[in-house]
Structure 1
Amino acid sequence: MNRPTIQASLLETAQPAARSPYVTAKDGTKLFVQDWGNGKPVLLLAAWTFDSSTWGSHIAALDAKGFRCIAPDRRGHGRSEMPSSGYDLETLTDDVADIIEARDLRDVTLVGFSMGTVEAVNYLGRYGSGRIARLVLVAPTTPFLVQTEDNPDAVPKAMIEADNAAVARDFAKWIAANEAPFFLPETPEITRTWIREMMLRVPLPVALACRKSNSFADVRAAAAGIDCPTLILHGDKDASAPLPLTGAKTAKLIKGSKLVVYEGGPHPLPLTHGERLIADMLAFMSP
């Protein structure tokens, strides 16, 4: 064997094994997973009707800093398979666990955005923090949105059901009606179009089932039991998940958590405040 061949062989041996872009969930559903880098893992869970592409700039920034970024498409979203069932919170949480186990992720920074925060908190409530080093909740919809006797300062159930019915009647119209407070006035049209098209690509039965799972999830007990360092990032102009009903309550439940309020920030902070979000996450993840 000549020298160039030996060098080529050693180089091939040194390269990390290629990772499949799919993880198979317990029920056989194939979940698409972006998996970049080789450092400490950061698992990024997307918002309702969003897919992993919304984390693109964050993946690039974290990868450049030496982190491994894992960003799945929720079942029925993006490039994941679209089964007829499994959109309840427990199955969605199992999907997160399946990804963590399949990729053997440890010392994970678990990041949830919007609906992803419900999955993240529920994961910790069910599976514990054995594989999770820290938690980042971005514009959380936790801990419980529905008004009840023991949760009086919340949203009446009838109002949530009426909003879900509006989505069912005409999803495109609902998106248009709620777009103005969702973004910042200066958010470019190309970003708005990208998000509208992404949301509308999710089949309506999937969108509705996930919306109900998110809207009615009560993860108060799970939040109260979280024992890992937690950072909560929330805008004070969030019309989708108002800070007093969500982020502020969640911060009170999670012992030792840190709540950072983005003045003037709307709901989609990863899109509108991406650079600050990355800076805050990096500071939190630094030893």
Structure 2
Amino acid sequence: MPYITNKREKETVDIFYEDYGEGQPVILIHGWPLSSKAWEQQRWKIIEEGYRCISYDRRGFGRSSAPWDSYDYSTLASDLAELINQLDLKDAVLVGFSMGGGEVVRYLTDFGSDKIAKAALISSIIPLVKQKDDNPDGVPEEDIQGILDALQSNRVAFLNDFHKNFYNYEDNKDTVKIQNLGYDFNIASSASPRATIQAAIAWADTDFRSELKNVTVPTLIVHGDADNIVPIETAGNQAAKGIKDNTFKVVKDGPHGLNLTHANELNTYLIDFLKS
């Protein structure tokens, strides 16, 4: 199986990736608490349309190494940078879902855009999840702390119910079957418990508002107006105001997991953007 290795001062981490197709490289960065398997409905379409599709498992998730520490966004972005460097990618498109939007923005902050042609933020946490005095539409801190407490006390019980809210399950039973929930539970519950908590702290606490100016490449923003995990008011709407060169698509009745519930709509937006 293909891996790239990120050797840092205090650790060596192996990152699993899959690489299919030919043409301009499109790098898919998954959300929390899943793995690159979450891109199933996008991967085939990207390849079918003539692009090289590369997806990888974030450290601590899927088939990648699971160090005890080092889940801050600069470290996560360094894994992405190693993937780009070791595969000698140029003119790449970064596509970040949910937590993965953080890697997109932090990569552009820490490493620049020389190798990047475009970016896409799908149901992204960018720029800020947590509610603050100057971010009143964010998720209240007590709700975030409740997630962390539940992960610490009984992670698998929390994950068993999490994806019902992820997909607004009761409203989307035509596209999300009980088997989909079970599949996601199997992926999420198999991740490192430590990584699951530390990654949640990263997406909950990191404020990217000052970094939006570093997103200088054309950027697609897609967010559902019924997202119960990362409300559009604290994420998509603010990202669209802070990123100069953007195309903003709002998915009507779209939940957080619109990559499954509204896969055709998302794929159309994404392919149109890649070809534009």
Which TM-score applies when normalising by structure 1? 0.89
In the TM superposition, residue 178 of structure 1 has moved relative to its aligned partner by 3.5
Q: Distance in 2 between the 1:84 and 1:173 partners?
A: 22
Counterpart residue number, 1:14 = none
Match of 1:56 among 29, 33, 40: 40
* Counterpart contact for 2:159–2:189, Cα < 8 Å: no
**Matching residue's letter, 2:258:** L
Counterpart residue number, 1:174 = 158
Q: Deviations over 1:80-127 (max 9, x none)?
A: 122222212111111111111111111111100000011111111111
Counterpart residue number, 2:230 = 241
Q: Which runs of 5+ in 1 are unaligned?
A: 1-19
Counterpart residue number, 1:10 = none
Note if 1:23 corresponds to 2:7. no
Alignment of 1:97-136 (within 5 A): 97-136=81-120
Q: Distance in 1 between the 2:274 and 2:161 partners?
A: 37
Q: Distance in 1 between the 2:46 and 2:138 partners?
A: 35
Note if 1:210 corresponds to 2:191. no
The structure with the larger Rg is 1
**Matching residue's letter, 2:54:** I
Q: Distance in 1 between the 2:269 and 2:5 partners?
A: 33
Counterpart residue number, 1:270 = 259
Q: Distance in 2 between the 1:188 and 1:152 partners?
A: 34
In the TM superposition, residue 164 of structure 1 has moved relative to its aligned partner by 1.2
Match of 1:250 among 239, 249, 254: 239
Match of 2:67 among 67, 83, 88: 83
Note if 1:155 corresponds to 2:139. yes
Q: Deviations over 1:37-81 (max 9, x none)?
A: 121000000001211111123222111221001101111111112
In the TM superposition, residue 238 of structure 1 has moved relative to its aligned partner by 0.5
Counterpart residue number, 2:274 = 285
Q: Distance in 2 between the 1:70 and 1:177 partners?
A: 30
Q: Distance in 2 between the 1:177 and 1:36 partners?
A: 33
Q: Deviations over 1:111-156 (max 9, x none)?
A: 0000001111111111111111111110011111223343343233
Q: Which runs of 5+ in 2 are unaligned?
A: none
How many correspondences in the alignment?
Answer: 268
Cα 1:176–1:80 change in 2 (3 A) is closer
Q: Distance in 2 between the 1:272 and 1:196 partners?
A: 17
* Counterpart contact for 2:139–2:230, Cα < 8 Å: no
In the TM superposition, residue 280 of structure 1 has moved relative to its aligned partner by 0.9
* Counterpart contact for 1:113–1:139, Cα < 8 Å: yes
* Counterpart contact for 1:138–1:234, Cα < 8 Å: yes
Which TM-score applies when normalising by structure 2? 0.92
Q: Percent identity?
A: 33
In the TM superposition, residue 260 of structure 1 has moved relative to its aligned partner by 0.6
**Which piece of structure 1 moves more, 217-226 or 39-48?**
217-226
Q: Distance in 2 between the 1:190 and 1:159 partners?
A: 28
**Matching residue's letter, 1:140:** S
State the SS of the aligned residue for 1:83. Answer: coil
In the TM superposition, residue 175 of structure 1 has moved relative to its aligned partner by 2.8
**Matching residue's letter, 1:23:** I
* Counterpart contact for 1:26–1:95, Cα < 8 Å: no
Cα-Cα RMSD? 1.5
Q: Distance in 2 between the 1:98 and 1:114 partners?
A: 21
